[in-house]
């Protein structure tokens, strides 16, 4: 539907639309949970004591086709081996660049 933006505006339509916006804003603000304690439970603070927590990560030992880069100390696949340094330590392609 085309609208003529040059025509004079009707004040009743403007007031009705403002009232509708006000009602929708009030209903959306009531949907938000304002309980700060419930929100804070989802976050872990740095340095928190997690000694009684169990880890949910499974650690897989280094495979035969992997190496530890002597520069960045990350486990990489053999296909990412750039060269061996003077001491015989492997260096990955990212660190060699």
- CATH number of the domain within which 83 lies: 3.30.60
64 and 58 Cβ atoms separated by less than 8 Å: no
pLDDT at position 25 is 64
Tell whether 90 is covered by a domain.
Answer: yes
What span, in angstroms and rounded, lies between the C-alpha atoms of 67 and 83?
12
Q: State pLDDT tens for residues 9-27.
A: 666 666 667 777 777 666 5
Of the pLDDT bands very low, low, confident and very high (cuts 50, 70, 90), residue 39 is confident
What span, in angstroms and rounded, lies between the C-alpha atoms of 1 and 18?
22
Tell whether 17 is covered by a domain.
Answer: no
pTM score, two decimals? 0.44
Of the ranges 12-21, 24-33, 51-60, the best mean pLDDT one: 51-60
Tell whether 4 is covered by a domain.
Answer: no
Give yes or no for residue 38 having a pLDDT over 90. Answer: no
pLDDT at position 50 is 73
Number of domains into which the chain is organized? 1
pLDDT at position 48 is 75
User: In which domain, by residue range, is 86 found?
Assistant: 61-96
Distances (CA, A) of 8 to 3, 4, 15, 40, 48: 12, 9, 15, 51, 63
Tell whether 78 is covered by a domain.
Answer: yes
């Amino acid at each position: 539907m085309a609208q003529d933006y040059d025509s004079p505006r009707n004040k009743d339509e403007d007031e009705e639309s403002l009232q509708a916006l006000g009602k929708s804003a009030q209903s959306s603000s009531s949907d938000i949970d304002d309980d700060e304690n419930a929100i804070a439970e989802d976050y872990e603070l740095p340095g928190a004591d997690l000694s009684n927590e169990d880890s949910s990560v499974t650690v897989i030992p280094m495979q035969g086709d992997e190496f530890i880069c002597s520069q960045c100390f990350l486990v990489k696949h053999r296909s990412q081996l750039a060269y061996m340094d003077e001491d015989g330590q492997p260096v990955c392609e990212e660190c060699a660049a």
